[in-house]
C-alpha cells in the first residue's frame, strides 16, 4: 500500500472515474488542438497543455487504481503534480484572452491595468504560483517523513494562495472593465457585431470555477494529508475534475477564435471578412478607406446584442 513508510492513498482510487475523465479531457485536448491550429490562437497553447496535464493526470490515477493495494510512486506523482498544475495553465490563457479583448475593443483606458502590462502581470503571478505548487509537489513526491510532508503541503499552499490572490484581482479587473464599457461603449465595441460580451460572461464563469477549485485545494492541503478532503476521493472529482472539465468545454463551445483571431474570417463581422485580419485593425481600415457606419448597430452590452 505504500512506498517506504509513506501511504500514497487513504482510499482505493476509482478506476472508472479516472478513465471517464481521461476520455473527457482527451476529447477536449483534441478539439482544442484542432481549433488552435485552425484559427492560430497561439495564446491558447497553455490552455491546451493544461488539458493534456489533466488527461495524463487522470491516467495516472487510473494506473494507481489498477495497482491497488500495491501502489507505486510514479503514477501517484504524475497524477498529484499534473492535476495540481493543470488549472494554472488554463488560467494563463484566460488572462491573455482578456488583454486581447480589451485591445480588440480599443478600450485600453477602461482597464485598471493597460493590456500590455495586464498579460505580463497576471502571467507573472501564474508563473510564481506554478513554481511554488510544482516545488511543493516535488517535495511531497519525495517525502518519507511527516515533517517533509508538512513542508511540501505548506509550499503548495503558498502557491495556491498566490493563485487565488492574482485570480481574485483578475476578476476585479474584468468586472471594472465590463462596467465601464457597458456604461460608455467605445466606437469599436459598437462597430463589431461579434458576440464579445458573451465572451466576457464566459470569462466570468471560467474564473469562478477556477477560483472554487483553488479554494478547495487550499482547504484540502490546509486540512492535512489525513484530513477529510484528502482522504475522501469524491471531493477531487466534484471540486476539481468536474469544474475543470466544464472550463475546458466552455472554451470549445465559445472559443476565442470567434472573437479574437488573426485568421481571416474567424471574426464574424457583417461588413467584411477582411476586417478580421489583424487586431488592432486601425491601419487596415485606413488603408482601405473604411469609415464607421452612420446608423446604429447592435451593442454587445445589451442582452439582445448577441
Provide the grid cell at 19: 478513465
Per-residue confidence at 5, pLDDT binned at 50, 70, 90?
Answer: low
178-196 mean pLDDT:
91
Per-residue confidence at 261, pLDDT binned at 50, 70, 90?
Answer: low
Which range marks the domain in which residue 214 is found? 2-305
Q: Are 57 and 75 in contact (CB under 8 A)?
A: no
pLDDT at 7: 79
Strand partners, 6: 3
Task: For residue 108, give every residue at least 6 positions away whose Cβ sits within 8 Å of its Cβ, in sequence order, or none.
Answer: 102, 114, 115
Four-point Cα dihedral 32, 300, 210, 252, nearest 10: -20
pLDDT of residue 182 exceeding 70, the answer is yes
pLDDT at 263: 34
Angle made by CA atoms 60, 61, 64, in degrees to the nearest 5: 90
Question: Positive or negative CA dihedral for 93, 98, 102, 104?
Answer: positive
The average confidence (pLDDT) of the chain is 85
DSSP code of 7? E
Provide the grid cell at 180: 465601464
Dmax of the chain from CA atoms?
75
Tally of domains within the chain? 1
The H or E element spanning position 6 is: strand 6-7
pLDDT of residue 155 exceeding 80, the answer is yes
Task: For residue 222, give every residue at least 6 positions away whose Cβ sits within 8 Å of its Cβ, in sequence order, or none.
Answer: 157
Q: Which of 13, 17, 23, 29 has the alpha carbon at shortest distance from 248? A: 29
pLDDT at 85: 95
Strand partners, 2: 7
Residue 200, judged by CB atoms within 10 A of its CB (0-12, 13-18, 19+), counts as buried
CATH of the domain at 49: 1.20.1070
pLDDT of residue 193 exceeding 90, the answer is no
pLDDT of residue 161 exceeding 70, the answer is yes
pLDDT of residue 2 exceeding 60, the answer is no
Separation of CA 257 from chain center? 16
Least confident of 113-117, 124-128, 297-301: 297-301
What are the tens digits of pLDDT across the range 47-74?
Answer: 999 999 999 999 999 999 999 999 999 9
Per-residue confidence at 265, pLDDT binned at 50, 70, 90?
Answer: very low
* pTM of the predicted structure, to 2 decimals: 0.83
Q: Which residue did the predictor score with more confidence, 266 or 25?
A: 25
pLDDT of residue 87 exceeding 70, the answer is yes
Ordered DSSP codes for 140-202: HHH--SHHHHHHHHHHHHHHHHHHHHHHHHHHHHHHHHHHHHHHS--HHHHH--S-HHHHHHH
Provide the grid cell at 249: 468545454
Amino acid at each position: 500500500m505504500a512506498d517506504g513508510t509513506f501511504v500514497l492513498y487513504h482510499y482505493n482510487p476509482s478506476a472508472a472515474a479516472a478513465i471517464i475523465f481521461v476520455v473527457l479531457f482527451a476529447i477536449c485536448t483534441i478539439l482544442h488542438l484542432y481549433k488552435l491550429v485552425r484559427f492560430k490562437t497561439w495564446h491558447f497553447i497553455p490552455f491546451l497543455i493544461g488539458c493534456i496535464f489533466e488527461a495524463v493526470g487522470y491516467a495516472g490515477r487510473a494506473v494507481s487504481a489498477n495497482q491497488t493495494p500495491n501502489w507505486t510512486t510514479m503514477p501517484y506523482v504524475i497524477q498529484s503534480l499534473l492535476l495540481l498544475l493543470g488549472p494554472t495553465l488554463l488560467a494563463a490563457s484566460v488572462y491573455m484572452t482578456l488583454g486581447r479583448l480589451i485591445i480588440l475593443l480599443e478600450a485600453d483606458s477602461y482597464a485598471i491595468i493597460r493590456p500590455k502590462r495586464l498579460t505580463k502581470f497576471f502571467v507573472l503571478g501564474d508563473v510564481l504560483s506554478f513554481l511554488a505548487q510544482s516545488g511543493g509537489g516535488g517535495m511531497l513526491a519525495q517525502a518519507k517523513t511527516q515533517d517533509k510532508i508538512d513542508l511540501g503541503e505548506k509550499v503548495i499552499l503558498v502557491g495556491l494562495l498566490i493563485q487565488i490572490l492574482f485570480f481574485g484581482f483578475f476578476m476585479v479587473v474584468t468586472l471594472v472593465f465590463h462596467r465601464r464599457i457597458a456604461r460608455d461603449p467605445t466606437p469599436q465595441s459598437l462597430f463589431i457585431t461579434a458576440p464579445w460580451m458573451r465572451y466576457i460572461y464566459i470569462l466570468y464563469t471560467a474564473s469562478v470555477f477556477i477560483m472554487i477549485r483553488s479554494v478547495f485545494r487550499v482547504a484540502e492541503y490546509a486540512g492535512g494529508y489525513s484530513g477529510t478532503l484528502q482522504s475522501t476521493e469524491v471531493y477531487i472529482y466534484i471540486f476539481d475534475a468536474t469544474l475543470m472539465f466544464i472550463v475546458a468545454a466552455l472554451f470549445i463551445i465559445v472559443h476565442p477564435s470567434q472573437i479574437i483571431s488573426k485568421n481571416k474570417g474567424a471574426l464574424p463581422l457583417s461588413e467584411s471578412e477582411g476586417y478580421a485580419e489583424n487586431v488592432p485593425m486601425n491601419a487596415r481600415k485606413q488603408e482601405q478607406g473604411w469609415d464607421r457606419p452612420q446608423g446604429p448597430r447592435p451593442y454587445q452590452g445589451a442582452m439582445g446584442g448577441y
